[in-house]
């Protein structure tokens, strides 16, 4: 009877240790994915006092994403146009990449006038910043007796500290009226470690629209 009890106790203890090890490993993996997942937030915004736009078929907005990669430009502009309550046009349909690169005021003015646009929404990459931080190591003690379990379990329940580097992308979004030519709203977002353009743009567009609403700019 004593032999059976000891065997069961040993098997039970080892099972608990294995289960605890698996749980801790799962938590560490989950924590890693959370830490590495992209996140976007508003850093700052400004609104012209009294300025606002609402769903009005008479409004027509030209959306311009000032990025070098043409594919990214199209993805960004399409996502922004989707979120406009009034008619919007992606600039890649009226401004080719060479025209965007030349950045001619005359060419833009002609496109705006010919298209009878009332507003212009521009988005650009304002800055990229690297940020290094130290993640503290963790140690979890073994609940139970001491002795051999201390030495056996200590390494299992400890993780060393490490350094991690984040890439922060600062995106500036501005909205101008055409007549008069005036800045109405501007905001800067910060996105940490974006892995896909489509995912990052969706997050940025959602955050910007929400901020425009909270500022009272978007009705």
pLDDT exceeding 90 applies to what percent of the chain?
45
Cα atoms in the 13 Å half-sphere on the side-chain side of 66? 16
Residue with the larger pLDDT of the pair 19 and 114: 114
Residue 3 pLDDT level (bands cut at 50, 70, 90): very low
Given a cut of 90, whether residue 207 has pLDDT beyond it is: yes
pTM of the model: 0.69
Across residues 10-37, what is the average pLDDT? 39
- Quick check: helix, strand or coil at residue 143? coil
Given a cut of 80, whether residue 177 has pLDDT beyond it is: yes
Predicted local distance difference test score (pLDDT) of residue 160: 67
pLDDT tens for 126-152 read 988 887 877 776 655 444 455 445 554
Predicted local distance difference test score (pLDDT) of residue 42: 94
Which residue from 85, 93, 95 is spatially nearest to 57, judged by alpha carbons?
A: 85
Predicted local distance difference test score (pLDDT) of residue 165: 81
Given a cut of 60, whether residue 181 has pLDDT beyond it is: yes
Predicted local distance difference test score (pLDDT) of residue 142: 45
Given a cut of 90, whether residue 175 has pLDDT beyond it is: yes
pLDDT exceeding 70 applies to what percent of the chain?
71
Across residues 13-40, what is the average pLDDT? 43
Contacts 24+ apart (CB under 8 A), 68-75: 70/97, 71/197, 72/197, 73/97, 73/100, 75/197, 75/198, 75/201
Burial class (CB in 10 A: 0-12, 13-18, 19+), 73: buried
pLDDT tens for 70-129 read 998 999 999 999 988 889 999 999 999 888 888 888 999 999 999 999 999 999 999 888
Please report which helix (H) or strand (E) contains residue 150, including its range: helix 148-154
Whether 218 and 209 have beta carbons less than 8 Å apart is answered as yes
Given a cut of 70, whether residue 31 has pLDDT beyond it is: no
């Amino acid at each position: 009877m004593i032999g059976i009890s000891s065997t069961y106790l040993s098997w039970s203890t080892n099972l608990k240790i294995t289960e605890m090890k698996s749980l801790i490993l799962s938590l560490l993996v989950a924590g890693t994915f959370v830490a590495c997942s992209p996140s976007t937030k508003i850093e700052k915004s400004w609104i012209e006092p009294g300025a606002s736009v609402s769903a009005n078929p008479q409004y027509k907005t030209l959306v311009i994403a000032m990025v070098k990669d043409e594919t990214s430009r199209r993805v960004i502009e399409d996502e922004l146009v989707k979120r406009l309550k009034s008619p919007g046009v992606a600039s890649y349909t009226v401004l080719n990449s060479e025209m965007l690169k030349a950045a001619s005021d005359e060419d833009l003015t002609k496109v705006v006038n010919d298209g009878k646009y009332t507003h212009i929404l521009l988005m650009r990459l304002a800055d990229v910043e690297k940020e290094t931080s130290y993640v503290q190591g963790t140690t979890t003690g073994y609940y139970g007796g001491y002795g051999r379990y201390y030495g056996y379990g200590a390494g299992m329940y400890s993780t060393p500290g490490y350094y991690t580097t984040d890439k922060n992308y600062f995106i500036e979004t501005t909205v101008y009226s055409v007549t008069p030519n005036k800045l109405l709203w501007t905001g800067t977002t910060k996105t940490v470690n974006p892995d896909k353009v489509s995912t990052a743009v969706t997050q940025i567009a959602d955050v910007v629209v929400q901020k425009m609403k909270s500022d009272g700019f978007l009705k």
